[in-house]
Structure 1
Amino acid sequence: MSDRYEIFLTCPKSLEGLLLDEAGSLGLEDAREQTAAVRGFADLETAYRLCLWSRLANRVLLVLKRFPTQDAESLYQGVREVDWADHLEPDGSLAVEFSGLGSGIDNTHFGALKVKDAIVDALRTAEGLRPSVEKLDPDLRVHLRLERGEAILSLDLSGHSLHQRGYRLQQGAAPLKENLAAAILIRAGWPKLAAEGGALADPMCGVGTFLVEAGMIAADMAPNLKREKWGFSNWLGHVPALWSRLHEEAEARARIGLARTPAWIRGYEADPRLIQPGRNNIERAGLSAWIKLYQGELATFEPRPDQNQKGLVVCNPPYGERLGDEASLLYLYQHLGERLRQACLGWQAAVFTGAPELGKRMGLRSHKQYAFWNGALPCKLLLFKVQLEQFVTGERRERDAGEREAPGEEQGGQGREPKPAVAQAARLTEGGQMFANRLQKNLRQLGKWARREGVSCYRLYDADMPEYALAVDLYGDWVHVQEYAPPRSIDPEKAQARWLDALAAIPQTLGVDPARVAIKRRERQSGTRQYERQGAQGQFLEVREGGVKLLVNLTDYLDTGLFLDHRPMRLRIQREAAGKRFLNLFCYTATATVHAAKGGARATTSVDLSKTYLDWARRNLALNGFSDKQRLEQGDVMAWLAEDRGEYDLIFIDPPTFSNSKRLDDVFDVQRDHVRLLDLAMARLAPGGVLYFSNNFRKFQLDEGISTRYAVAEISAETLDPDFARNPRIHRAWRLSAV
């Protein structure tokens, strides 16, 4: 079979250069690139080899004829002149694919129809036999492309696109095509690493496409070895003996490859729904002995190869609808960079993303970048060498690379010792100095406790002196000040003067830049005004608590997103969450959920009516490397509970005193409605489970009937840290379980 054919290999845009190299290595001669294709010349054996071994091509097209065409009639005649009896039986089936416009063809459907008519008319017999059209599984798939007045008529030897290897019957929400995944691995240097015995890990593997493609490369498996149906299977020009020899050679290479010591290839996926489909894909590919897939969050990702070998971390983080809003993605990429620095020193990393600006926030410098297209979406492949000298902090990435944070230094100044008061105290009024003295006293006492306990955010002052009715909270190197509305018995002018005295004293006493003092007026009130938006600066500050990172906003809302008084409750939940199903009702920004996930909760569900706070919750989870495995549900808690049929081992409820959102059918009143709320929630509590209930309504009384139905213990005193010891009425809390 020495006939030489013109061959077109089609591929996704941006893979042309890689495909050119691959096709040349497989025997394609005189090859050159075109847009989304490579053109060259080969005999039938090479064409078969390209079908079997190309990891990058979509289709292998064997050109039957090129001819000029001016109109539909010349197109018809040019196609009909081919001796179709050499290619298809009269009663066979065909499908026609048509691309390009011109020469009087302004509709691809019309062009395909003319090509089909020409083939059918050429094969029609006197007895009335004629080929039929079969789009899904034809005996022959014909392709015609119009290109600058010339028709290129080809047979599609591949049949279905070559990226459809046959192993991936189940896929995730945003899958990469197999040939694009292979191209990414090739660009990342995996073939060389695999040959040297390197390892590969994917921390967000979905259903395992990178893993399988990497395994086939390492094991020298032809990517289309398991395909049973080809475009040439029923082509009359097919030479079965030639194909069988090539296929047997590929099977022999795969047997030899799989008999070698398996490459260490591991995938980790947070979503439990994708684990079994991923393992099924790996099994169908014949690589179960080489590839292992585990359920795991990015927060716990740490590749541990058997022989301590280094290798490649490859992943395709979400960059669109799969995770949520842009802020969540930002923190996910930051956390990915952190995990690479902490767990993958000496490895290489390849991050494929449609949001390269997020890649810049990983805190690593890419030494190479490649442009790709994922369908119609422009993407970048960022390559990293995870080495100490490559690190760039997210805040300083545009500044001198020589600047480094001190070892162990954490953003937010955990347990910091504020600067001493500056020599401006003489400017304070007598009242202002009195207020400053109280701040200094509190700072000496609480500062020691905060440093000892590793607390970076705490309440320093809460209307300790009635005439100075404000709350002062420290958030790392920021100060958050809330003024309570003075009683009507206080002269407004005196109240205003004291307020100004306090504002003058705070920066001096705490040694902070006044620009880092966030000021709000807060009235003691009911309803939902505490959740109303106050500004639109959109500035989020990252703080730390109990080993997790949380986002606060000191400017845009009356509350910051972190209820400081619930710190002991959140840490209790973290300690008790291991292996449990956690439910957080009225979850706000889901800080308790983050703690539960950090503590090893098997699953978490968080419910709130506000989309704004659920988006914030999503950011908090992503910041810590936790994914959509942690369910966030928008809805009225009472209605949601009435419909839910889940079972939970640990439940936390911290409702507002009142809620009169327009989306509620009725006003929520914690005193009036807590009995029904607790009954609904206890119905969802698993045997042996625990429910924690708290609220900050100062006149609240727990209904006596609750204690007759459940085991109830008030734990309010246990849920207050020293910074709220002066205000024990800040909230009350109970522990409930089944009797």
Structure 2
Amino acid sequence: MSDRFELFLTCPKGLEGLLIEEAVGLGLEEAREHTSAVRGMATMETAYRLCLWSRLANRVLLVLKRFPMKDAEDLYHGVLDIEWQDHMLNDGTLAVEFSGHGSGIDNTHFGALKVKDAIVDKLRTPQGDRPSIDKLNPDLRIHLRLDRGEAILSLDLSGHSLHQRGYRLQQGAAPLKENLAAAILIRAGWPRIAADGGALADPMCGVGTFLVEAAMIAADMAPNLRREQWGFTAWLGHVPALWKKLHEEATERAAAGLAKPPLWIRGYEADPRLIQPGRNNVERAGLSEWIKIYQGEVATFEPRPDQNQKGLVICNPPYGERLGDEASLLYLYQNLGERLRQACLNWEAAVFTGAPDLGKRMGIRSHKQYSFWNGALPCKLLLIKVTPDQFVTGERRTPEQRQIEREQAESDAPSNIEAPGKYEKYNKNGNPIKPAPVVIEQPRLSEGGQMFANRLQKNLKALGKWVKREGIDCYRVYDADMPEYSMAIDLYHDWVHVQEYAAPKSIDPEKASARMFDALAAIPQALNIDKNRVVVKRRERQSGTKQYERQSAQGKFNEVNEGGVKLLVNLTDYLDTGLFLDHRPMRMRIQKEAAGKRFLNLYCYTATASVHAAKGGARSTTSVDLSKTYLDWARRNLSLNGFSDKNRLEQGDVMAWLDACRDEYDLIFIDPPTFSNSKRMEGIFDVQRDQVQLIDLAMARLAPGGVLYFSNNFRKFQLEENLTERYAVEEITAQTIDPDFARNGKIHRAWKITAR
């Protein structure tokens, strides 16, 4: 065989430029870039070195042959022409991978089958021995790439992809591949920072991929030093003595690197479930002395080991798969930016994100951006110098002020941290000059954000007297008042619940996203609420019970007060919170009218109306709903107020339950869904279609002199005329709309129905 070989190094899209630099440094000659690959010439020693040391490649492919190919027969004979006995034993195992199409081959499985047939036919013995297929751990992994009529047949020296270093047996929900993490570190300047003794912190470290890759770079560890199985291990062209020499050299370099004083490398992770898996990964990589992982939120992480230490903060925050998800992450990015400004002055930072618009909301400018791909998702790497002149604050500074800030930033002692005895500047009397502290301000709102903040403050002021007079703890402060900011904002004591309405298709998604971010940036400032207490959801156009489906599983309940009762709300887990704020006047009416009465609450949801009825002195309450989850919630609401006796909770389809019921009630409340097709009920409920049957069944249960209140929020609902002919019907919608919903008079409609 030749002393020099053609190699193809594959890599994730976007890493080609970095890979060619790395490969040339490791000995690749005549290197050229291709899409997701680098091609060049190399000796076997260089090929081994690339396998061992490449931090960026996926695979190292040694080209065995190139040949023109017009059809499947050309493919078969071109592969058959190879002296396969020089590469594997007759009874060995192989796996074939095929990529590309054309020349009569449009199915990669068919292409791989033809390659396999040629190899097997070449090696078949008269005794019947022949290679077999092993897709997991074959002796030889063959790759054929079809490119514009040329077949490129290669031997995969890597075996499993080189990004699989072997230390990460446990991973989080959305892990970065190890070679992509290494590429981000290299682009962020970590090799330079590490050589200068710098530190590294990852405030959202997950299971520690950035940390391990960074420590291996700093300690001069070959990324695949610990790999035991290679694509060349059983290859007959393998040169064990050469490989042993290179592996021993890498082992000695790693030992020397790990013998040095370890750099300060720390990870912080909010999810307690990821702490031990991360630590296990670090231990498997042999880097427990270099890396420590702690549990902590982004807003509290402290990267500075001492006041003079500098380094790199690197992280891969969540991106969000939809606009609504991205919006809910705004505060996470703001917290990250705030923490960088407060605790990481004069450090460098690298934020890898698939949502660069969120990166722009951190309140600090990036001086460089690089494009990457995380799988099929285009991403940006934002590089940041954490210095005051890069801060985006509420104060506009003159060039002279910026120069003063730069001088402060150059001091060894961070200007917003006390550092006695370490000031570099002295006055004429020889006394140290203490730098002026840097004030960390709120990021400046955009023009649109400021306009939105003004509207919120105006609404808050307008509702203030009413809220105070009525003792209201939770209410709506904004409901799409300005069409371009289409959302509802509710205050729940000291929490804010934001529901973003899906923008019409005619609206540019980028503009809708920018406006949403402007509004979310304004909310904490305008309402004087901690941004960590703002919950964001997106309300799509929907039907049936979709709004009741679980969105999350945090299980966190907050206690709020309304009309003298305590109620539990869940702001995170469902689209609705457990308390329909627009029905507040109806609940208060029920409380005032319930004394001594038997109260029936149909489609009771979390039974808030039943709690009010019990508070008002109802003789008994009965609450009916199909959902066990919400009946359990209802039980907690009743128990929270000491109402356990004489308060029945019934699980069932309301229509069927009413049909079977023979009890009488003096006060009935019905707030049905617009549409329901639950698997636990027979048929489909449609409020417009089924209203007559529903009201007739309920009126049959109404005691003489009793009152039925009927309400729903279907905007197009029309009450059937024949109901008004048989019952005394009074629309009371206007009486059931409080000031916080006055702008949205169609939030619901309500009627009082009695027997004639």
Alignment of 1:321-720 (within 5 A): 321=321, 325-393=325-393, 462=465, 539=519, 541-543=522-524, 548-549=530-531, 583-585=556-558, 608=569, 613-614=571-572, 632=573, 664=605, 668-671=609-612
What is the Cα deviation at residue 240 of structure 1? 1.1
Asked whether the equivalents of residues 144 and 151 of structure 1 are also in contact (C-alpha less than 8 Å), the reply is: yes
What is the Cα deviation at residue 549 of structure 1? 3.5
Identity of aligned residues (%): 66
Matched, 1:62 2:62: yes
**Residue number in structure 1 paired with 2:134:** 134
Per-residue CA deviation, residues 507-532 of structure 1 (Å, 9 max, x unaligned), is: xxxxxxx99xx9xxxxxxxxxxx999
What is the Cα deviation at residue 664 of structure 1? 2.3
Matched, 1:313 2:313: yes
What is the Cα deviation at residue 543 of structure 1? 3.5
Distance 1:472 1:671 in 2: 14
**Residue number in structure 1 paired with 2:257:** 257
Asked whether the equivalents of residues 394 and 443 of structure 2 are also in contact (C-alpha less than 8 Å), the reply is: no
What is the Cα deviation at residue 250 of structure 1? 0.6
User: Alignment partner of 1:241: what SS?
Assistant: helix
Per-residue CA deviation, residues 394-451 of structure 1 (Å, 9 max, x unaligned), is: 8999xxx98x9x95766999xxxxxxxxxxxxxxxxxxxxxxxxxxxxxxxxxxxxxx
What is the Cα deviation at residue 239 of structure 1? 1.1
Change (3 A) 1:307 1:259: farther
Asked whether the equivalents of residues 30 and 40 of structure 2 are also in contact (C-alpha less than 8 Å), the reply is: yes
What is the Cα deviation at residue 322 of structure 1? 10
Which residue identity lines up with residue 154 of structure 1 in the other structure?
S
**Residue number in structure 1 paired with 2:546:** none
Distance 1:231 1:122 in 2: 21
Distance 1:242 1:542 in 2: 64
User: Alignment partner of 1:664: what SS?
Assistant: coil
**Residue number in structure 2 paired with 1:235:** 235
Alignment of 1:219-234 (within 5 A): 219-234=219-234
RMSD value, Cα: 4.8
**Residue number in structure 2 paired with 1:295:** 295
Change (3 A) 1:236 1:120: same
**Residue number in structure 2 paired with 1:97:** 97
**Residue number in structure 1 paired with 2:207:** 207
**Residue number in structure 2 paired with 1:155:** 155
Which residue identity lines up with residue 83 of structure 2 in the other structure?
D
User: Alignment partner of 1:76: what SS?
Assistant: helix
Asked whether the equivalents of residues 26 and 49 of structure 2 are also in contact (C-alpha less than 8 Å), the reply is: yes
What is the Cα deviation at residue 542 of structure 1? 2.5
Per-residue CA deviation, residues 276-325 of structure 1 (Å, 9 max, x unaligned), is: 00000000000000000000001101212257410000000100249972
What is the Cα deviation at residue 48 of structure 1? 0.5
Distance 2:49 2:148 in 1: 31
Alignment of 1:170-185 (within 5 A): 170-185=170-185
What is the Cα deviation at residue 44 of structure 1? 0.8
Per-residue CA deviation, residues 91-123 of structure 1 (Å, 9 max, x unaligned), is: 000000111112221211111111000000000
**Residue number in structure 2 paired with 1:37:** 37
**Residue number in structure 2 paired with 1:186:** 186
**Residue number in structure 2 paired with 1:16:** 16
**Residue number in structure 2 paired with 1:73:** 73
Which residue identity lines up with residue 15 of structure 2 in the other structure?
L
Change (3 A) 1:671 1:662: closer
Asked whether the equivalents of residues 8 and 63 of structure 2 are also in contact (C-alpha less than 8 Å), the reply is: yes
Distance 2:110 2:532 in 1: 59
User: Alignment partner of 1:262: what SS?
Assistant: coil
Distance 2:387 2:305 in 1: 18
What is the Cα deviation at residue 241 of structure 1? 1.2
What is the Cα deviation at residue 41 of structure 1? 0.7
Q: Which has the higher contact order (CA 8 A, sep 6+)?
A: 1
**Residue number in structure 1 paired with 2:145:** 145
**Residue number in structure 1 paired with 2:107:** 107
Distance 2:148 2:500 in 1: 60
**Residue number in structure 2 paired with 1:50:** 50
**Residue number in structure 2 paired with 1:718:** none
Q: What's the TM-score once normalised by structure 1's chain length?
A: 0.62
Asked whether the equivalents of residues 394 and 444 of structure 2 are also in contact (C-alpha less than 8 Å), the reply is: no
Unaligned runs of 5+ in 2: 406-437, 446-458, 486-496, 504-514, 540-553, 562-566, 580-585, 592-600, 624-630, 647-756
Change (3 A) 1:665 1:305: closer
User: Alignment partner of 2:286: what SS?
Assistant: coil
Which residue identity lines up with residue 160 of structure 1 in the other structure?
H
Distance 1:66 1:534 in 2: 57
Asked whether the equivalents of residues 462 and 471 of structure 1 are also in contact (C-alpha less than 8 Å), the reply is: no
**Residue number in structure 2 paired with 1:422:** none
Distance 2:164 2:396 in 1: 44
Distance 2:44 2:94 in 1: 21
Aligned residues: 520
Which residue identity lines up with residue 146 of structure 2 in the other structure?
L
Change (3 A) 1:395 1:76: farther
Asked whether the equivalents of residues 347 and 386 of structure 1 are also in contact (C-alpha less than 8 Å), the reply is: yes
What is the Cα deviation at residue 670 of structure 1? 1.3
Asked whether the equivalents of residues 313 and 347 of structure 2 are also in contact (C-alpha less than 8 Å), the reply is: yes
Distance 1:84 1:394 in 2: 71
Asked whether the equivalents of residues 200 and 314 of structure 2 are also in contact (C-alpha less than 8 Å), the reply is: yes
Distance 1:534 1:75 in 2: 56
Asked whether the equivalents of residues 587 and 612 of structure 2 are also in contact (C-alpha less than 8 Å), the reply is: no
Change (3 A) 1:280 1:552: closer
**Residue number in structure 2 paired with 1:167:** 167
- Structure 1, 209-218 or 385-394: larger mean CA deviation: 385-394
Asked whether the equivalents of residues 102 and 146 of structure 1 are also in contact (C-alpha less than 8 Å), the reply is: yes
Asked whether the equivalents of residues 661 and 667 of structure 1 are also in contact (C-alpha less than 8 Å), the reply is: no
Per-residue CA deviation, residues 359-400 of structure 1 (Å, 9 max, x unaligned), is: 111111111111101111111101000000011138999xxx
Distance 1:411 1:186 in 2: 30
Which residue identity lines up with residue 106 of structure 1 in the other structure?
D
What is the Cα deviation at residue 13 of structure 1? 0.8
User: Alignment partner of 1:462: what SS?
Assistant: helix
Which residue identity lines up with residue 124 of structure 2 in the other structure?
R
Which residue identity lines up with residue 557 of structure 2 in the other structure?
N
Asked whether the equivalents of residues 323 and 329 of structure 1 are also in contact (C-alpha less than 8 Å), the reply is: no
User: Alignment partner of 2:329: what SS?
Assistant: helix
Which residue identity lines up with residue 542 of structure 1 in the other structure?
I
Asked whether the equivalents of residues 63 and 152 of structure 1 are also in contact (C-alpha less than 8 Å), the reply is: yes
Change (3 A) 1:207 1:607: farther
User: Alignment partner of 1:279: what SS?
Assistant: helix
Distance 1:200 1:457 in 2: 44
Distance 1:101 1:182 in 2: 32
